[in-house]
Amino acid sequence: MQFIDLAAQYQHLKTKIDARIQTVLNHGKYIMGPEVQELEKNLAEYVGVKHAITCANGTDALTLAMMVLGIKEGDAVFCPTFTFFATAEVIAYEGATPVFVDSDEATFNICPIDLEKRIQATIAEGKLTPKAIIAVDLFGLPANYPEIQKIADKYNLKLVEDAAQGFGGSIDGKRAGSFGDIATTSFFPAKPLGCYGDGGAVFTNNDEFAELLKSYRVHGKGKDKYDNVRIGMNSRLDTIQAAILLEKLAEFPTELINRNKAAANYEKMLSDKHKTPKPPTGYVSSWAQYTLVDENRNAVMAEYKKQGIPTVIYYAKCMHQQTVFNGFGYKDIDFPIASKLSSKVFSLPMHGYLITEYLNPEVDIFK
């Protein structure tokens, strides 16, 4: 079986996706064609924000957010240590300093209590200017935005939601991509909403940010791309990827139901075997990954392999453990929860097309 079965999804949507691609081949507007605007409208509607601005990938989406917020050398941006590298990378790329924060043990997401401690310590030290927080919707579960937003307001910090893995999740009906001042996502093929290459988007309700984003993604354009009013980048979503995403977005609500059915079934079958993920009340996960915690991770993964069930570790290394950030002098003891998680988590197959056995609560596939 596949860890993520993109071929099954393509077979299901083949006729519609093929027709969409053919339409682009016929009109030939490969860059910023009409499908890009159509997708941005549909994305904004789904997420529940005023503006969705697509770009080349989820890392660029975060970089664009950093540019809009004016993050620069001397600034501190707080982010979880237990995340994918891009979250921290984009902060350092702007010359600012990522300040890592420990995780909440139950949700794997940034811990609001530790976040406030790190902000206070940074202020007390007086070397960096606290500017922003990047919270991550790890494995599809929205971070604790009600608490994080309060902290952002208290210390006058901007809040960025890294929803690269979170698209489709929600808190009390408010969808991922709509939290904070600005949010980003990734359309990397394996993401809950993925395209057939690289892609990303930025979401905001702020009209000024939206105008800046549209300029930054096309070489800092003014009235057109040959009128350049600021330093930007070349980061557009290809029209063909937008065409594919239009069909995938239409099917997304059904896939999300299937992912949640599979998660509920995993919970039923596995909660007495491993520590299973439990979204807090009011939270919906898009289950980018179904991630378990087990003291005997290696033995357990070997056992699943014998049964023909693939497993993957996300993530074996936290940000504070990455070679490139050695200079910060962090130790595992500074992040006890995240360090423990990175040594004990592993993920099971999860996608919208798991075989029916995975969706049938009467069948125990792990017997």
d(C-alpha 198, C-alpha 237), whole Å? 8
Residue 60 · residue 200 · CB < 8 Å: yes
Among 34-42, 51-59, 108-116, 256-264, the segment contacting ligand PLP (CB under 6 A): 51-59
88: left (phi over 0), alpha (psi -120 to 50) or beta: alpha
Nearer to ligand PLP, 235 or 265 (CB): 235
Among 55-63, 139-147, 231-239, 248-256, the segment contacting ligand PLP (CB under 6 A): 55-63
Among 16-24, 67-75, 83-91, 277-285, the segment contacting ligand PLP (CB under 6 A): 83-91
Residue 38 · residue 246 · CB < 8 Å: yes
Integer CA distances (angstroms), 197 to 56, 193, 200, 245, in order:
9, 12, 10, 11
Among 7-15, 43-51, 158-166, 342-350, the segment contacting ligand PLP (CB under 6 A): 158-166
Does 143 help bind ligand PLP (rule: CB under 6 A)? no
Among 92-100, 116-124, 150-158, 162-170, the segment contacting ligand PLP (CB under 6 A): 162-170
Does 164 help bind ligand PLP (rule: CB under 6 A)? yes
Residue 197 · residue 175 · CB < 8 Å: no
d(C-alpha 184, C-alpha 201), whole Å? 6
- Strands (E) located in the chain: 51-55, 75-80, 97-101, 129-136, 158-162, 170-171, 174-175, 182-186, 200-204, 283-284, 290-293, 345-348
Question: Nearest distance from residue 168's CB to ligand PLP, in Å?
Answer: 14
Among 79-87, 204-212, 230-238, 334-342, the segment contacting ligand PLP (CB under 6 A): 79-87
Cα 183-184-189 angle, rounded to 5 deg: 150
Residue recorded with tokens 């982010």: 79
Does 162 help bind ligand PLP (rule: CB under 6 A)? yes
Does 86 help bind ligand PLP (rule: CB under 6 A)? yes
Does 347 help bind ligand PLP (rule: CB under 6 A)? no
The enclosing H or E element of 264 equals: helix 239-270
Does 57 help bind ligand PLP (rule: CB under 6 A)? yes
Question: Nearest distance from residue 273's CB to ligand PLP, in Å?
Answer: 27
Question: Nearest distance from residue 140's CB to ligand PLP, in Å?
Answer: 10
> 188, 216, 325, 335: which one contacts ligand PLP (CB under 6 A)?
188
Q: Which residue is nearest to ligand PLP (CB)?
A: 58
> 9, 63, 81, 83: which one contacts ligand PLP (CB under 6 A)?
83
Report cis status (omega within 30 of 0) of the bond before 315.
yes
Does 84 help bind ligand PLP (rule: CB under 6 A)? yes
Does 338 help bind ligand PLP (rule: CB under 6 A)? no
> 58, 140, 168, 180: which one contacts ligand PLP (CB under 6 A)?
58
- The site for ligand PLP, by CB under 6 A, has a size of 15
Does 161 help bind ligand PLP (rule: CB under 6 A)? no
Does 200 help bind ligand PLP (rule: CB under 6 A)? yes
d(C-alpha 342, C-alpha 85), whole Å? 14
Strands of 174-175's sheet in order across: 174-175, 170-171, 283-284
Does 196 help bind ligand PLP (rule: CB under 6 A)? no
Nearer to ligand PLP, 99 or 135 (CB): 135
Handedness of CA 207, 213, 214, 219 (dihedral sign): positive
Binding site for ligand PLP (CB under 6 A): 57-59, 83-84, 86-87, 136, 162, 164-165, 186, 188, 198, 200
